[in-house]
Amino acid sequence: MKPHVAFLPSPGMGHFIPLFQLARSLVFNRGFQVSFFVITTQASAAQDHFIRSAAEISPDLRIISLPEADVSGVMFEDMRLLTKICVIARESIKPIKPMLIELNPTPVALIIDIFTTDAIELSIPVYSFFTASTSLLALSLYMPTLDLEVEGEFVDLPAPVEIPGCKPLLIEDLLDQVKDRKNDEYKWYLLNVSRLKYAAGILVNSWENLDIQRITALKQNAFFRSIPTPPVFPIGPLIKVEETLTAKDAEILAWLDNQPCESVLLVALGSGGTLSSKQLIELAWGLEMSKQKFILVVRKPTDASASGTYFTVGSDEDDPLAYLPDGFLERTRGDGIVVPTWVPQISVLRHRSTGAFLSHCGWNSTLESLVQGIPIIAWPLFAEQRMNATMLVEEVGVAVKAAPKIVEAVVGRKEIETVVREVMEGEKGKMMRRRAAELKRSAAEALESGGSSHRSLSLLVDIWKSKY
């Protein structure tokens, strides 16, 4: 019988996909069997679709749906996104202990993510797969110390946050969840990151050549060793490897086939992000004025929250194309494609005609872009995306910010036109494209036999097999 590992991701495609890709890898490349627990409470249509397509991948990869939890008495409309995720996770995983006991053979490890840390109290070894960047992991491990040492709000600090062994973190780049320490969202985040030190290990979806400074700090710096930080295993980049294509998807790829090499800008802001009505109009005008070819993914705008579609992504909604400027579709016909809600992102990014990616800089999308060697126009919306954007621009050299001087305001059409032209036609875009090509090679080498991430995962596999 094969060694057995269980997985427990929290809600949201950004958490779900990387854990699933690791599960696939263990089954197909490492000879494991996997039980993959799924939180069904308020699951998005996109997650349901993903699960249906994944259910028959292999008899060694079993999908187990957790019973839907009643959250009516503990979750409220005015809760912020992270609080909702944590409440759903806490209520949904209550029956997991007896479900794990019933599995045969008993799993040698349970792999969780940052918001299912209630499971750390179980009797089997629990590993945290930190699905965001190493930049956020370093901040998260430092957060309990920061919480004790700083009075008042972090956003009022006079200087960047000095994380031991790492580059300073700009105050304006702090993730949204720590900007208001009085809000429950902060308390939930602090609770979860405070538990990281109790994990048997921390898996990171990155590779050494992308962020060697932080990875070295997490492993060797005296502060992180003193917490103590569990062993850190960079095993990335793990991204979605294939997509189920619809007839509409095939039309998009056929259109790309007829475009010049590296001539098309993909504009897609993640599975949970959306723009305000005014910003969507300015973005459309900026694309039109740039005279560049594009694929624009449009969701119904909302003026309430940039994360407003987190739990509804993939569901039917009002026609989002109706919110574009009058005549936009007609004027850009032939030069651009506008797609409601969803696009086969992996297939588009790997296509020879794609030249750049206007992205929210969520970590999954960032890795998908880097693996394909595609430079980025950074348009962060929420969570840790500003941290990622700054890292990509100032450290990695593969991105430019859409409007670096504007924070939480509308980026104008002229600014959008300028940055799109700069990346698609200018010298800066060529430099970014060369750097992205270097990272594409580096990412592939990390995953090859003998590469840094392959070795790191092999260490984990050996640990797990030794317990079998």
How many domains, the chain? 2
Give the residue among 321, 324, 339, 275 at the shortest CA–CA distance from 302. Answer: 275
User: 13 in a domain, yes or no?
Assistant: yes
Checking if the pLDDT of 317 tops 90, the result is no
pLDDT digits (tens, 9 = 90+) for 67-113: 999 999 999 988 998 999 999 999 999 999 999 999 999 999 999 99
- Furthest-apart CA atoms within the chain: distance in Å: 64
User: 454 in a domain, yes or no?
Assistant: yes
User: 243 in a domain, yes or no?
Assistant: no
Task: Report d(CA 129, CA 110) in Å as an integer.
Answer: 10
Give the residue among 8, 269, 242, 262 at the shortest CA–CA distance from 115. Answer: 8
Query: Are 265 and 205 part of one and the same domain?
Result: no
pLDDT digits (tens, 9 = 90+) for 319-332: 889 999 999 999 99
The parent domain of residue 363 ranges over 248-443
Query: Are 257 and 226 part of one and the same domain?
Result: no
How many Å is the Cα radius of gyration of the chain?
22
Checking if the pLDDT of 313 tops 90, the result is no
Helix axes 134-149, 212-220, angle to 10 degrees: 50
Average pLDDT, the chain: 92
pLDDT at 209: 96
pLDDT digits (tens, 9 = 90+) for 176-233: 899 999 999 999 999 999 999 999 999 999 999 999 999 999 999 999 999 999 999 9
Query: Are 163 and 304 part of one and the same domain?
Result: no
CA angle 359, 415, 358 (to 5 degrees): 10
pLDDT at 404: 59
> How much is the average pLDDT of 414-431?
97
Checking if the pLDDT of 311 tops 70, the result is no
Give the residue among 82, 29, 77, 27 at the shortest CA–CA distance from 56. Answer: 27
pLDDT at 305: 55
Query: Are 190 and 166 part of one and the same domain?
Result: yes
Query: Are 382 and 454 part of one and the same domain?
Result: no
User: Where are the alpha helices (H) located in 55-183, listed in sequence order?
Assistant: 81-92, 96-102, 134-149
Which residues are known to be catalytic?
15, 113
Task: Report d(CA 443, CA 441) in Å as an integer.
Answer: 5
Query: Are 87 and 216 part of one and the same domain?
Result: yes
Question: Of the given ranges (283-287, 304-308, 342-346, 363-367), which has the lowest mean pLDDT?
Answer: 304-308
Q: Are 181 and 153 in contact (CB under 8 A)?
A: yes
User: 149 in a domain, yes or no?
Assistant: yes
DSSP category for residue 159: S
| C-alpha dihedral, 356 to 359 to 361 to 367, nearest 10° | -50
CATH assignment of the domain containing 343: 3.40.50.2000
Task: Report d(CA 429, CA 438) in Å as an integer.
Answer: 14
Query: Are 293 and 381 part of one and the same domain?
Result: yes
Query: Are 145 and 194 part of one and the same domain?
Result: yes
